[in-house]
């Protein structure tokens, strides 16, 4: 099964409406393809709130910063979590406006957008925080210029994450916004992996 | 006699400089596909593939500052420059290493530049801020840098290239390519047909010039930088382009555009067989045609 075919059938799969052989093929593909598994997680996350929540429900408190505070020491954690704070500032940004102007968002409540973003973020958060903790321990061994380069690039990625998440919150059904958000998360993990390798090997 | 002064001065300076350097040359037998690990943090590392089943190293290290080391035999070697005393600063050193052309090479550097020429084996090259350059036809190239430039002018079937600030330039790309940066520009030129490619940057400009094979797939993505795709006139491809706040412009003659609300803009070239997917949240996208020489022919 190709990724395109998977995406075409994803809603039927989540709703359990596909024939058994297709359900099996979908599950097999999702187990082998990270990108499609993320899409499926996002679709599941989207379907859940739509089916169960009233449209005017208030967003739940984000528990993640509290959890992170307990398991990862500062200051790299602060860098990793900075994107969450920026989200608030980005809510009414020009990018979000441009997204809305270009593509009419699906008629879904904003809580669904948060759910979709959190489902994607949850896939990357454990690794991100694990690497941030390692980097925090190794920071003293890195050259100041290297620390500055890591900080600078993390800031760029965090801004991209905040902007793509704000756009995704407005239109959680858009597969391209999900892909952009997912890529930004993966890029942060990749940069942290690179930084920890430098700390370990040099 | 007066004219000879500058030459005498230069000769004295040169002699002084030579005295401050220590040059070590070693030649050892090696398997044709030996694994070679090189650590040279500061200075220059130059590796050249040759047809001999041996390794020849010429290490130039400032006298008193560092020490060249080398170990291993026949199939696996480790070499590099280390500080004479633990914790001391490692001085800038030069390593010139001749290796069997199909050797597997692994190099780590901090600020040292890494150059690999006439390579035919697998390469794993990493630097924090040094420039990385590769030529030849290695089987696999993996190269990463934090803020050094990476230039791959090699015909490798598999490439994995990653940088943060540093620019990435890949010439002669074909086969399977992944190139990723945070803010460095990425330029990929494909000499033969690309089978599978993924090129992504957060804020770096992305440029792809070349052909994608009939059943190939290419993904291009930026967060906020422009993306330019130049394809040959004979390319058969379907391009799905999503630019949320940037413009999508085609200068490709005969490209058939389909725009459906809520869907990516689609351009079809010829039979549309290759799949090209392009996404940017804030950057614009331009497609254009390559001229016969392989240079993009911007309208």
DSSP string, chain B: -GGGHHHHHHHHHHHHHHHTEEEEEEEEEEEEEEEEEEE--SEEEEEEEESSSEEEEEEEEETTTEEEEEEEEEEEEEEEEEESSTTSPPPPEEEEEEEETT-EEEEEESS-EEEEEEE-SEEEEEESSS-EEEEE--SEEEEEESSS-EEEEE--SEEEEEESSS-EEEEEEEEEEEEEESSS-EEEEEEEEEEEEEEEESSS-EEEES-EEEEEEEEEEESSS-EEEEE-TT--EEEEEEESSS-EEE--TTPEEE--TTS-EEEEETT--EEEEEEESS--EEEEEE-TTS-EE--
- In chain B, residues 55-114 whose CB comes closer than 8 Å to chain A: 108, 110
Residue B37 near residue B57, CB atoms below 8 Å: no
A98 and B264 within 8 Å at the Cβ level: the answer is no
The ipTM assigned to this model is 0.85
B221 and A164 within 8 Å at the Cβ level: the answer is no
- In chain B, residues 172-231 whose CB comes closer than 8 Å to chain A: 180, 182-183, 200, 202-203, 221, 223-224
Mutate to test the interface with A, among B217, B281, B284 (most CBs of A within 10 A): B281
- Cβ contacts of A163 on chain B, cutoff 8 Å: 223-224, 281-282
pTM over 0.90: no
Q: Token digits for A43? A: 């679709």
Q: What is the pLDDT of residues B54-94, one digit of tens each?
A: 999 999 998 877 899 999 989 999 999 998 887 778 889 99
Q: From the list A180, A194, A201, which residue is nearest B108 (CB)?
A: A201
- Cβ contacts of A95 on chain B, cutoff 8 Å: 244-245, 281-282
Q: How far is A79 from chain B (nearest CA, A)?
A: 16
- Cβ contacts of A160 on chain B, cutoff 8 Å: 202-203, 223-224, 281
In this structure, the number of other CB atoms found within 10 A of the CB of residue B262 comes to 12
Q: How far is A154 from chain B (nearest CA, A)?
A: 9
Q: From the list B129, B183, B200, which residue is nearest A153 (CB)?
A: B183
Q: What is the pLDDT of residues A122-168, one digit of tens each?
A: 999 999 999 999 998 888 888 899 999 999 999 999 999 999 999 99
B200 and A183 within 8 Å at the Cβ level: the answer is yes
Q: Kindly list the distances between the CA atom of residue A200 and the CA atoms of B44, B66, B108, B121, in Å, as whole numbers in the listed order.
A: 21, 21, 12, 26
Q: What is the pLDDT of residues B44-57, one digit of tens each?
A: 999 999 999 999 99
Question: Does CATH number 2.160.20 belong to domain B33-289?
Answer: yes
Q: From the list B110, B162, B264, which residue is nearest A176 (CB)?
A: B264
Q: Which residue has the higher pLDDT, B174 or B262?
A: B174
The per-residue pLDDT string of chain A (202 residues; one tens digit each, 9 = 90 and over) reads 778 788 878 878 777 778 778 888 888 888 888 788 878 877 776 666 555 555 455 545 555 556 555 555 555 555 555 544 443 334 334 444 444 444 444 444 455 767 888 889 899 999 999 999 999 888 888 889 999 999 999 999 999 999 999 999 888 888 899 999 999 999 999 999 999 998 888 7
Instruction: Report domain extents, chain B.
Output: 33-289
Q: How far is B283 from chain A (nearest CA, A)?
A: 11
């Amino acid at each position: 099964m190709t990724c395109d075919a998977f995406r075409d059938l994803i809603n039927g799969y989540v709703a359990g409406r596909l024939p058994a052989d297709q359900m099996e093929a979908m599950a097999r593909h999702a187990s082998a393809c990270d990108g499609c598994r993320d899409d499926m997680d996002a679709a599941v996350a989207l379907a859940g709130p739509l089916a169960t929540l009233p449209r005017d429900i208030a967003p739940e408190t984000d528990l993640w910063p509290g959890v992170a505070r307990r398991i990862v020491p500062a200051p790299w954690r602060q860098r990793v979590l900075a994107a969450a704070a920026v989200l608030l500032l980005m809510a009414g940004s020009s990018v979000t406006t441009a997204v809305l102007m270009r593509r009419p968002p699906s008629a879904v409540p904003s809580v669904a957008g948060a759910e979709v973003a959190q489902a994607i973020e949850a896939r990357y958060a454990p690794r991100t925080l694990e690497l941030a903790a390692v980097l925090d321990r190794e920071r003293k061994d890195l050259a100041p210029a290297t620390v500055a380069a890591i900080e600078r690039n993390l800031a760029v990625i965090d801004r991209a994450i905040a902007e793509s998440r704000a756009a995704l919150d407005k239109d959680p059904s858009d597969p391209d916004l999900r892909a952009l958000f997912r890529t930004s998360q993966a890029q942060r993990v990749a940069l942290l992996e690179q930084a920890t390798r430098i700390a370990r090997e040099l | 006699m007066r004219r000879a002064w500058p030459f005498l001065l230069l000769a004295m300076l040169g002699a002084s400089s030579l005295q401050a350097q220590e040059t070590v040359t070693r030649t050892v037998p090696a398997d044709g596909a030996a694994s070679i690990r090189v650590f040279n943090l500061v200075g220059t590392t130059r590796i050249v593939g040759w047809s001999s089943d041996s390794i020849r190293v010429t290490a130039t290290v400032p006298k008193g500052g560092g020490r060249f080391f080398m170990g291993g035999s026949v199939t696996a070697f480790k070499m590099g420059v280390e500080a004479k005393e633990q914790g001391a600063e490692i001085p800038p050193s030069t390593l010139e290493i001749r290796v069997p052309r199909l050797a597997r090479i692994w190099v780590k550097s901090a600020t040292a530049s890494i150059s690999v020429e006439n390579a035919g084996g697998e390469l794993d090259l990493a630097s924090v801020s040094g420039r990385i350059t590769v030529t030849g036809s290695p089987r696999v190239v993996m190269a990463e840098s934090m803020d050094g430039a990476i230039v791959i002018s090699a015909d490798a079937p598999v490439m994995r290239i990653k940088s943060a600030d540093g620019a990435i330039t890949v010439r002669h790309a074909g086969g399977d390519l992944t190139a990723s940066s945070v803010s460095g520009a990425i330029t990929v030129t494909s000499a033969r047909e690309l089978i599978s490619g993924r090129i992504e940057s957060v804020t770096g400009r992305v440029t792809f010039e070349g052909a994608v094979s009939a059943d190939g797939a290419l993904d291009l993505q930026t967060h906020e930088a422009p993306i330019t795709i130049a394809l040959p006139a004979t390319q058969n491809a379907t391009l799905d382009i999503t630019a949320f706040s940037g413009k999508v412009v085609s200068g490709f003659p005969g490209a058939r555009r389909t725009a459906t609300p809520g869907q990516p803009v689609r351009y079809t070239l010829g039979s549309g067989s290759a799949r090209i997917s392009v996404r940017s949240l804030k950057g614009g996208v331009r497609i254009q045609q390559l001229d016969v020489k392989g240079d993009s022919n911007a309208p």
